[in-house]
Structure 1
């Protein structure tokens, strides 16, 4: 007999499968489950016990489930894990300590202690309850773990993903180019999405203030604020004696990258050096401020 939760064309759901004829010993029952389905039903909690009790027909011999005694402990056969006390669902005064009663049956639709467990000799013949997993290779995207539930499955998304199959990466707010700067990104799941990594650069004459590389986090926020591009500054200029700054052109601010200044001398003095200087991208002036020497001093110097 086969029962399933899936509809035509729909995603597969966890199915329970049972057999009453022929009755099987416990090892044979488990082998049948492994051969035709996924495994013998392990019964993880009381909710599952009640679900199976509602689903299966009454059988005078009841049904084997996938719990056995090993080294004095009751374990789930499919994982070899110990069944914790809170997950056990024994009938009153069970399990007993009768020798060789190391396998477990579940009472189905019994007038007394229905859906409860009883330990029995593994050589007895009973009905069999198997399950087939609902999770298939394509049930969820690669960004999720497929988790079995009673009568269904869910896709448990990895951090940074959402959607019914966890196929969509979480989005961060779009980034804006900083003034006098730009950025480029590596986008493994799409622009401005989880794990997008963006590196910022500034134009010539501007320096980066802040963290140069941003990462879109699973929270949907960038891990740092967008950095700024700040203009490079040169030292302030001051006219030497007998001179004055005729004018300065400051496209990005006073005494900053691109500033151009011209020096002239007072009447009676001659320029000794280069009149023009410019603030470079390295934050240095292209030429020193010239001096202004009197004409007499220049004549003496030339004679010497």
Structure 2
């Protein structure tokens, strides 16, 4: 954890077509402007009196991103914005907000604390999948590979750490520690501390019982005997043909959350445990 740097410009992204999130964005833009800090709206968001910038320009324009919405908004922001610009996740119009630091009850006071330099950075690993020379967007939570034909169970082979495992199963989840409380948890996978440097491999409905695996961060190659779908953070879906190899490795840039409150198992607390 590293103490935050001075903020001179912020970029704002919100949940799509959500009036509550947009109202919060307008309020935050006014707050930072009153403190002499520049505010930018990330396209397609438009805020009256605020310049709009392309996601590709955020890294060279802003010191901090405000992601206003639910976890989906935070995940989208980390996929669409390159580099490691720190992000404050604000749960407005979302559900549990497992990734969030601030909610509507304490938004103004905690943002003022952030702008006063009281926050710190919390880094998390990301992973990325490749199909030949095609690079898919990075994933903060998980990469899911799942059968496309619901009437046929494919054989999925997994190459890792010099070994190869092949089993018939519906699919496989490769999750980061951050994503351990997502799809991984829902299919019986372990929950890991978010700051760990490792990956979780969780098979989905294997014909022969196969355990979940926690492994060091190394290259993983997955191949299915049948056409499959690859899903990035539960939001972006692509098709993989039978026999094509998907390579998964650590993404070069970790994400940096901006935090105010130090917690041990942050995401478990958000889940109510």
TM class, shorter-length:
under 0.3
TM-score (normalizing by structure 2)? 0.23
More helix by share: 2
* Higher RCO (CA-CA < 8 Å; seq separation 6+): 2
